[in-house]
Structure 1
Amino acid sequence: MNPWRMLIWLLIAQILIAFIGRGVSPLGVFIGESLQLTNAQIGMLPAALFFGQFVASIPFGVFVDRVGTRRLLLVLTLVLGISFSLVSFATPFWLVLVLMAIGGVGYGAYHPVSTRGILYWFDSLQRGTAMGIKQMGVTVGSALAAFLLVPLSEMFHWRPVLFVSSLVLIIGGLICYYYYRDAVVSMPKTKNVRISRQLLSMFSNRRLLLLTIGAMTLSASQMSLNTYLILYATNHLLVSIVFAGMLLVISEVGGSLGRVIWGMVSDRLFQGNRMIILCMIATISTLGFVTLATLSEGVNLVVLVLIIFVLGFCLAGYNGLWMNAATEIVPKEQAGLSSGFSTSIGAWGVILGPPLFGLIADVTGSYSASWVVMAVLMFFVAILFLLLNQSLRNESIDT
């Protein structure tokens, strides 16, 4: 079978899953207004989604190594689609959070499930590009959510819009399951090692842990930008909600390009070096957040668009590099567990990041302090990836 054809189905599933899961951010302003939420509570919406990711990623990372990608693809799209269709009927804030967390199981577990498919369909010199294309589905889905859900929710209310979108995901998941096939591979024979011992080996992998900490911080910054960009643009910069929604679209378009371009640059110009590219991404993001902290009403809209595009290109463009690096640091037969472990721990960035960002904005009455905190975090992450890159280079020289 043609691996690129299989990649298309993984990409379509990723777009649909992201369209629903990442739709939490553009819908946040409408859900917040409907349920009368504070900034910190709005930040808890994506936090709930990614708490589900935290719970699911490691178990599904282990499970996919044993049963393959195809069957789990169907299960995860059904879990996400059904839970978010129920969100469209929920009124109590706690129930919305619970249902979003359940949906997060489907959203988050797709990362190790699809990563396993990429790993076995493509060789190491194609994997960065293939992963970038697949991960582009996250930003394409998120961009479509911002482009469609904001105006549709303004016209028809967010509840029916979310319900219909969930049905589209369920139907699309069935179609992808029908056409996708797992790669026929000779799996290495391994001993029946207890999961706790396998997890201990992940925690003892210093480089995987440091990579995950850096990715966790990038995730916190990315989702904070997505969650509060519309609120920041309408309340602080005083632009229209339609233009603010387009800013989120622009950010995700930049991320879509970033996921492919950063992967290609890593494969072709840096011979698969992921860490130095991640260092570049964190450095550029630091400058972007500092700039956002200085903007005020009347900012040149072209300048604003460029800043948001670059931030999206970086913050929404790093994910494929992260997933590749997480699988390449460990033996191939542990790829699913490694990506699941890193995704699970990395999810804490999104669980804690947006609520913290919103709390700082609530306390200070301004978004500037929140952007400054993000900039400081990105600065330290850039140093972390630089040190990791040097460590890997030293090991390569020694061997």
Structure 2
Amino acid sequence: MDRPLRDVPAQARDLVTALTAALDGTGPAVRPLDEPAPARSVHVPADVALVVRTSGSSGRPRDVMLSAAALRASADATAARLGGPGSWLLALPVHHVAGLQVVLRSLLAGGPPATLPDGPFRAATFTQAARAATDGDGRHYTSLVPTQLVRVLDDADATAAARAFDAVLVGGAACPPPLLARARAAGVRVVTTYGMTETCGGCVYDGRPLDGVEVAVDREQRVTLTGPVLATGYLHRPDLDATTFVTAEGRRWLRTADRGRLADGVLHVLGRLDDVLVTGGVKVDPLAVEEVVAHVADVREVCVVGVPDQHWGQSVVAVVVTRGGVVPPLTPLRTAVAAVLGPASAPRQVLVVDELPMRGPGKPDRRAVARLATERMASPTRPDDAP
């Protein structure tokens, strides 16, 4: 059996009624879109309540089918981990799974979420919305991406408003340790999340899987996940289903594109399998370099990419957003990275930008950043630039 799929505008006010009906089976499945799509008749399996369009790292759109049971399992596990159901403030776009989950968790807890005004994320509008959303009994939650958290912490009023939440989920991209330390020192109860559309959003909180979720890491350091939160599959993409979801010992697993390691039951995500750079024949982990660079004074955001180089194959370049556009001195930055990760990992250039190109909420678009860095590089790195 199947059910019809309805495309709806990616607006919280339009989604509340449609999602409620999709979850309880009284209405069609829902696919929120930020741009209108051609009208056509599409059906999905009967258990599917929500279809989320995502481009992934390839840039090729794909539609992920999520069942009502998986969505409820995710919401229940989140509530259990955070200390109980509560009201939510929506600060993320609802055509991505992180924003949709805020709406769903709120609906399943008893009502629609509070929302920020339309328009870009601003500390002032967050402050006003957060104060209103936390003015009442019960537990209060919100979900942000690292870029938003930076803006909140840069504003004293927004930081004070964020302290009123019982938990501030931070996901969408790796959150630099200095940013987490800064938030916690400011009294903001941040919880890091790891997951993807195929797991109904975050399913690992502060490195530990939610109830019912299991994490494994194979010989290639590939992170695999199983549990009741897994997607039903991809709409009209059996080729992706066959390579992304596998069955082992009677259990269905999701093969992610992420590298990781497990230590005492805690997952440490090391970056994507296809993000590793090779410079001078040496492999460089961009996420590890980013963690070191993030400790440099005035660096707010960083994305490390490889730029084609005739001598080294790839030249390691740090593209950063800094306070006031200040350019960090290259030599001490290279020294700091080399001391931790070795000379090959030390960036050969530091480029300052006003903002990083993004792919979805909070995720730096590494391909776009690499193109930007290539365009900005005035000349190829010389061999004698090496340490």
The structure whose residues are more often helix, as a share, is: 1
> TM-score, normalised to structure 1's length?
0.25
Please tell me whether Structure 1 or Structure 2 has the larger radius of gyration of its CA atoms. Answer: 2
> TM-score, normalised to structure 2's length?
0.26
Higher relative CO (CA 8 A, sep ≥ 6), structure 1 or 2?
1
The structure whose residues are more often strand, as a share, is: 2
